[in-house]
Amino acid sequence: MTPALLWLIAGVVLVVAETLSGEFVLVMLGVAALGAAGAAALGASLGMDVLVFAVLGLGLVVTARPALKRRLQVQHELKTNVDALVGRKAVVESTVDAHGGRVRIGGELWSARAFDETQVMQAGETVLVMEISGATAVVWAEP
Q: Which sequence spans correspond to the domains of the chain? A: 3-72, 81-141
- Whole-number average pLDDT of the chain: 90
State which fold the 81-141 domain adopts. OB fold (Dihydrolipoamide Acetyltransferase, E2P) (2.40.50)
Q: What is the pLDDT of residue 76?
A: 67
Q: What is the pLDDT of residue 103?
A: 97
Residue 77 has pLDDT above 90, yes or no: no
pLDDT tens digits for range 89-140: 999 999 999 999 999 998 899 999 999 989 999 999 999 999 999 999 999 9
Cα torsion for 58, 63, 68, 70, to the nearest 10°? 130
Q: What is the pLDDT of residue 74?
A: 67
Report the alpha-carbon distance of residue 101 to residue 121 in Å, rounded.
9
Q: What is the pLDDT of residue 88?
A: 92
CA angle in degrees (0–180, nearest 5) for 9-12-15: 150
Q: What is the pLDDT of residue 69?
A: 85
